[in-house]
Structure 1
């Protein structure tokens, strides 16, 4: 590498990528405007003015040795020969998007590639991608229903071991089988999401993920990154809680979590669902030996249960029930039940039905306090139901010391938190989703005070993660039975729906008219 001839737009962009900074953060780091940084990406041959050259010199001189090493690798790479259009735009993200850069570094390290190999691998795939074909594949994937995946994974994993099995529920005339691996004492937890009961703890040191990648798995990871770039999917490398141990029982959640990176999950365990669904859409076998990624990462039930020795990310999701007063047109007082149709741009459960809120279990700023499941659900309520974009990590960087401080809460959430008996949050069940190995904390959120709907019902709205929001009445047993029979559900969403309705039937009184829901472990 030589800078004897000075900086160019391309080498300035390489320094930004090496520092893993967004346009805004890099501009602030240098003390320049964001438009200046953007111009370096748009005009790689541009030579900045002398004062800008000095700022870049200083930034490189002050950089840590690993940053300098990454910069050297990036600056010495030849410019990528990509066509005009979407792929050419994606080249900018290959260098400028800190999440993509972090993913490329992660892949180089875990595949034991020389630095820069992942970038070249992803770039080569970008050239060959047909974005139209990717959209067509998304449509085909959306046609694979929940029952198809449940049957396929039942065949793949065979008979359950010990007292674990796949969650099945009978709801009226409906029998719902899922891919959620659970056990009797992980269900009907009736666990209030309060510190005295919600005791998942952050461990001091997270063990290595120990994900050995061969040529097949590394190639699939590179393909995933290329497709993410081509489709413009949102992805931010925020910290992610990784489950290390779980101790769940009636009225109590216990266990431990560590912290891992989101990009490591995206290019490994999150690929399992796509591999399975693509096999189903093309009529390919889904038995052992035919799904290379599943065979490598989640080959058997014993491995699925051994969360301490694998990448086990996941989240919390809740059926939301909002008390409504009697209405001359709608009828008697009831609970409004919310169900979302997931967007095609989300990483998890794209184009599926799911309860809302639903989110990855991950910290904001207080890693220890945020290890509680209730912390994730309160954050997701703010983001997915009450429009708090400032806590959406796919929109911008988080700079507040306490994003969930009472003074920053939305008006609906502040009202809920300020009075006793207004908000009830419980964990209703726990399981491990065999689709991708994720842990799932199914929960129920009940807004008990019907004044909330009168005051704030018009402000409840879904964010970009949902393409549509449906509402159901807790008194409409016929329509809810039809909902439970819908094959568009995600497996974890159906699990949370059934467990949530089961608990709501117990506590809802005259506001609820539901048939008995009985679960079975198969």
Structure 2
């Protein structure tokens, strides 16, 4: 799983070929799951009520393994890190409308995702280990290739994968920022110590679609916009510890240490936009992957007043590597997006969801709309 994920993805795409609406795309999709244009997501987008009457699926038993696959995952963690069986949104259905997709969710838990979707990946890896072709009889837990579209038999915890584009980006220590400003996108080189998708390249920010409130108290947390903004703030502004407020049920985006970033970036007109690019299933895990692009005007963010938040003048987005890997900047062009989606890396591959984001952004009908978003001339300073 950790060392041959690209080969497993190819084998699984071939396995599901008869049901796959996008055979040349990294993810497995249904008809209409990839819109012809980017769909802007906003904070006011309606969300359906959580479907509490749908029970979660606790696990799929792997032959020869006592207990759930979560035990194997726990052993892979380094140091004293422990898995947490936190609440998740479990995808129930997808309605790919032209103007905005409609997702419905039911309650799930992380261990159930590991014991179903990640267990299916383990079955795939075990069947592929000899490098032979894989047929339906080789994956009895996965079953018929078309069964991937039936969401009732696994805990389908979605990922929200965000290609981050920074417009007019510059390093604040350079003296001539006007000449050096450029548009960039970010790539994440993930290491061996991560729980999922080890040794891969991916877009950033990216994370699971799950509530911060402990008991599914707020329907607003089902919003894809909400999760994209939360991941952006957690990963790029070092606010992951704020998720610990889950136990008191406080809205993450309203926390004192988080609210100023939401206000200055996502609630100020023209500074940032969030676009939906499509959905598909990861071929290895069958995990639903929601594809998003976040466009942020760096010049507008850097010119805002941040002293009350940080105690000093704001010095740019805190984009640093952590135990999961390193952040790399790439020039935002169609050619570079396409290159990063397929570029071979020694012992590493691009995660299918990451490659899918890059390819969608590079689509000739989508790229110009993303490139035109959040121009500096339309943004006031201060």
Q: Do the aligned residues in 1 keep the contact of 2:62 with 2:123 (CA within 8 Å)?
A: no
Q: Which has the higher contact order (CA 8 A, sep 6+)?
A: 2
Structure 1 residues 282 and 330: alpha-carbon distance in aligned structure 2, compared to 1, 3 A threshold? farther
Q: Distance in 2 between matches of 1:408 and 1:493?
A: 29
Q: Deviations over 1:331-376 (max 9, x none)?
A: 5753221111123232222221111111111001143110111111
Tell me the equivalent position of 1:464: 322
1:350 aligns with 2:198: yes
In the alignment, which of 147, 156, 162 is matched to residue 15 of structure 2? 156
In the alignment, which of 416, 424, 430 is matched to residue 273 of structure 2? 424
Structure 1 residues 500 and 214: alpha-carbon distance in aligned structure 2, compared to 1, 3 A threshold? closer
1:441 aligns with 2:297: no
Q: Do the aligned residues in 1 keep the contact of 2:120 with 2:285 (CA within 8 Å)?
A: yes
Q: Distance in 1 between matches of 2:70 and 2:168?
A: 49
SS at structure 1 position matched to 2:116 = coil
Structure 1 residues 166 and 432: alpha-carbon distance in aligned structure 2, compared to 1, 3 A threshold? same
Unaligned stretches of 5+ residues in structure 2: 305-313, 376-382
Q: Distance in 1 between matches of 2:374 and 2:43?
A: 29
Tell me the equivalent position of 1:494: 355
Q: Do the aligned residues in 2 keep the contact of 1:316 with 1:360 (CA within 8 Å)?
A: yes
SS at structure 2 position matched to 1:464 = coil
Structure 1 residues 499 and 457: alpha-carbon distance in aligned structure 2, compared to 1, 3 A threshold? farther
Structure 1 residues 228 and 408: alpha-carbon distance in aligned structure 2, compared to 1, 3 A threshold? same
TM-score, structure 2 length as denominator? 0.79
Tell me the equivalent position of 2:232: 381
Tell me the equivalent position of 1:390: 241
Matches within 5 A, 1:135-214: 141-142=2-3, 144=4, 146=6, 148-160=7-19, 164-166=20-22, 168=24, 177-188=25-36, 190-194=38-42, 197=45, 199-209=47-57, 211=59, 213=61
Give the structure with the higher percent helix: 1
Q: Deviations over 1:424-465 (max 9, x none)?
A: 011111112222121111011011362224665633224636
Q: Distance in 1 between matches of 2:86 and 2:258?
A: 22
Q: Distance in 2 between matches of 1:339 and 1:229?
A: 23
SS at structure 2 position matched to 1:350 = coil
In the alignment, which of 187, 198, 201 is matched to residue 339 of structure 1? 187
Decide which structure has the larger Cα Rg and report it. 1
Tell me the equivalent position of 1:12: none
TM-score, structure 1 length as denominator? 0.60
Structure 1 residues 443 and 465: alpha-carbon distance in aligned structure 2, compared to 1, 3 A threshold? farther
Q: Distance in 1 between matches of 2:229 and 2:373?
A: 27
CA shift at 1:289, angstroms? 3.3
Q: Deviations over 1:261-292 (max 9, x none)?
A: 1111112211333443465565365433334x
SS at structure 1 position matched to 2:161 = strand
Structure 1 residues 391 and 205: alpha-carbon distance in aligned structure 2, compared to 1, 3 A threshold? farther
Structure 1 residues 371 and 495: alpha-carbon distance in aligned structure 2, compared to 1, 3 A threshold? same
Q: Deviations over 1:5-44 (max 9, x none)?
A: xxxxxxxxxxxxxxxxxxxxxxxxxxxxxxxxxxxxxxxx
In the alignment, which of 369, 375, 380 is matched to residue 506 of structure 1? 369
In the alignment, which of 208, 221, 239 is matched to residue 87 of structure 2? 239
Q: Distance in 1 between matches of 2:218 and 2:321?
A: 24
Unaligned stretches of 5+ residues in structure 1: 1-137, 169-176, 513-522
Q: Distance in 2 between matches of 1:442 and 1:318?
A: 6
Tell me the equivalent position of 1:310: 154
Q: Deviations over 1:208-262 (max 9, x none)?
A: 4275637546556275156246765542111011111221222212131011111
Tell me the equivalent position of 1:77: none
Structure 1 residues 432 and 351: alpha-carbon distance in aligned structure 2, compared to 1, 3 A threshold? same
SS at structure 1 position matched to 2:252 = coil
Q: Do the aligned residues in 1 keep the contact of 2:74 with 2:83 (CA within 8 Å)?
A: no
Across the two proteins, how many residue pairs are aligned to each other? 353
Q: Do the aligned residues in 2 keep the contact of 1:243 with 1:258 (CA within 8 Å)?
A: yes
Q: Distance in 2 between matches of 1:460 and 1:226?
A: 30
Q: Do the aligned residues in 2 keep the contact of 1:198 with 1:374 (CA within 8 Å)?
A: no
Q: Distance in 2 between matches of 1:462 and 1:285?
A: 41
Q: Do the aligned residues in 2 keep the contact of 1:423 with 1:447 (CA within 8 Å)?
A: yes
Q: Distance in 1 between matches of 2:147 and 2:272?
A: 38
Q: CA RMSD in A?
A: 3.3
